[in-house]
Structure 1
Amino acid sequence: MSFHTMKLAKVYPMYVAKVERKGRSAQEVERVTTWLTGYSVEQLHDLLDSDVDFETFFAQAPRLNPNRDKITGVICGYRVEEIEDPVERHVRQLDKLVDEIAKGKAMEKILRS
């Protein structure tokens, strides 16, 4: 399945489960997701209740964070900053943020502040 057609509502609960297993919270996943995309928490929840795919989710994002290019490193064997397809890169950036939450990184560092 391509990143373009993957459903946000199928993947997002896995993000939450991953961080909760490590003692972190769903609110932290919300925070990094809204930081990356510019959606409000309410908008995010509306999208999770819909059938939106990742391509649409990122294409309609109110404001992709200008600091998203500071998200670097390897996730699932791929260097985030070298991924050419924009949708795949955005998905992997979100994966990386969630991974950093699960690894116990401080939120200020995760949000590249």
Structure 2
Amino acid sequence: MAIVAAVVGQNQAAIAKSGLLIFLIVVAHNGLGLLLGYWFAKLFRLSPPKQKAISIEVGMQNSGLGAALATAHFSPLAAVPSAIFSVWHNISGPMVATYFRKQADRQPPDGKTVSA
């Protein structure tokens, strides 16, 4: 989080100027990662717990490392998307985990889905 705080602190004006666009792209990137991870695991007929684990693993990448590398090799502004992603995936991850948990609670012992 220290890396993220430093990146955000150095780029407050740039984030204020283009923050919404970057945020929307970050959310789309994260959502696509979560969905593709789940769908590919399902395509390869992995068990439902493995499908969920792969979905979360693909969707939650190391954005702190991305911010550090971008700052080291490019302008500090290049690290802004990674910094925003660091914050966002700490919101989306628990949301997806809660969704998966609620879906599991709806499964009867025989494994068939219960309709609402």
TM-score range (shorter-chain normalised) is under 0.3
TM-score, length of structure 2 as denominator length = 0.25
- The structure showing larger relative contact order (alpha-carbon pairs under 8 Å, at least 6 residues apart) is 1
Report the structure, 1 or 2, having the larger helix content.
2
Larger radius of gyration: 2
